[in-house]
Amino acid sequence: MKDKLLLGGLGLIFFVLISFNSDAKNQLLLLGGGGEEVNATDTNGRPILGTIFDSELENLAQFVKKSPDWSTEISFNGGHSQTEKILDKNFSQENDFEFNKENYKKIISKYKQQIASNHFSSGDKILLVIDSHGALKGPSQQTHSVLMSSKTTNKRGESFYDLANIDELKSLVELANQKNVKIAIIDLSCYSGNTLEISNEQTCIISASGPMHPSFGNAPQTFTGKFAKSLQSGKNLEEIFLSARKNSSDASFPMISSPEGVLVQKKFYELLTPYLYFFDKLANGLTPYLDTITPELACKIQEDNKGLLVFISDLVKFSTFDPKINKEMSELKAYLEEYKALQDSMMEDMLQYKKEIANDITENLIFSSNGREVSVQESQKKLFAINFDHYIPYLEKRLRDAVTENDRYYDEYALNLALAQKKRYLEILQKNPSLQHLKVNIEKFDRQTEKTKEYANVIGEKARLVYDLLYNFEKERRNSQNACRDFVL
């Protein structure tokens, strides 16, 4: 799966297709591969030769092979022999650039200039594919960002992957619209539902998940796997989307910018959102969500859950009788009720925990790391939330396995901080033995998180039937064209 970074992120395949007539130029532009460490090793210390984008690259390569009239341009992260082998074998290397800030801006500028100068004229197509890790929407963004292969180092010596802001594609979309150029964007990254914010009636945008949830890849049963494999000349984007969505199985919530999709997503996504969250070390959306719960918000969630169950029951009444549909709907309702009960228990523990451990009580931790003394402010709440029995051995192993000097520096810091946190936590418990029950509740909470991913995956899979029924109902009711149905590969 692609949700391997703290940013959440899966990866993104991002298609911008611009279409005109039968004598069109067909240009494929491939961007991405960001966020995948070069010289990385697995848990056994063996080098990682590929990236989590490789299966989508293979599927995209099959589309290119069967569509020889497409030219290619590539801006993709190297450093992984298996990935580079796929690129070298299947894509032209004539125009091959690193996916970094400078090249991202140059590429957007180049294609805007070519559209403005009529290099691409009526009938031409441009297919822009971005395959990278995605981030949540930022405070000043309309869409969201994806990771590049380049990094920037701050004054403290910390290195972070550069981000490609998808907002910057809005001007490309608008120029294409002005020139009556058909444009479609397929964003398969984590949190890619945010990209629908730049859609309009002339533009088809498809995302691999909702604005608040990760997407998943590198597996044939996921939406990204199904979608990339379904790319085929003669098919339109709407039918590819609906087929891939219906037949995939994961905890994502793929979206489409058609009027039918927008209406269904508005009705369904918010109600389903809590039950697509799950706990995972690499993509944890559940505990941040639970951490925002107040008693007032808990009441709203309760009402929303009742509304969701009624919504599903009503849909069964209005759908054509089908034993399979009734069975799937009954199972979906049962899983929703079970997961709601589990989340309720976790919410109660967290609310009690917040009540007894005040956020405004901070502890000043002083410790040594990398030859210097460090002072850090930590809340008591955080100290009680850490499972030191698991966390410290994990950090010790990371430090032992560190490859670069930079990795060793940060892993040593993280380990020394954790040891200082544990020391202060034990001091607090010694002074306040009555707080010991909170640790017991946290251990119970940790055990409960182990079940959440299975619930989210099953709910995500079974909810696809609800989406498909609603979408087809709206499609029949509207009986009109849309930009995604009009866009034929």
| 400 found inside a domain | yes
Predicted confidence (pLDDT) per residue in 326-377, tens digit:
888 889 999 999 999 999 988 888 777 777 765 567 888 998 888 888 888 8
Residues 383, 247 share a domain: no
pLDDT at 20: 43
Residues 213, 109 share a domain: yes
- Of the candidates 188, 186, 205, which has an alpha carbon nearest to the alpha carbon of residue 196? 205
Task: Provide the 8-state DSSP code for 68.
Answer: T
| 200 found inside a domain | yes
Residues 271, 403 share a domain: no
- What's the CA dihedral at 382, 387, 390, 391 to 10 degrees? 10
Buried b (16+ CB within 10 A) or exposed e, 37-64: eeeeeeeeeeebebbbbbbbbebbbebb
Residues 368, 235 share a domain: no
| 194 found inside a domain | yes
CATH of the domain at 226: 3.40.50
Q: Please state, in angstroms and rounded to a whole number, the distance separating the CA atoms of residues 147 and 377.
A: 30
Residues 256, 135 share a domain: yes
CB 86 within 8 A of CB 58: yes
Residues 372, 267 share a domain: no
pLDDT at 243: 97
Residues 187, 88 share a domain: yes
Residues 375, 252 share a domain: no
Helix or strand holding residue 184 (H, E)? strand 182-187
pLDDT at 123: 73
Residue numbers of the chain with a pLDDT score lower than 50: 1, 3-10, 18-22
| 290 found inside a domain | no
- Of the candidates 17, 13, 21, 76, which has an alpha carbon nearest to the alpha carbon of residue 50? 76
Amino acid symbol at 10: L
| 255 found inside a domain | yes
Residues 110, 210 share a domain: yes
Predicted confidence (pLDDT) per residue in 193-249, tens digit:
999 999 999 999 999 999 999 999 878 899 999 999 999 988 999 999 999 999 999
Domain that holds residue 424: 362-447
Q: How many domains does the chain have?
A: 2
Residues 28, 160 share a domain: yes
Residues 266, 119 share a domain: yes
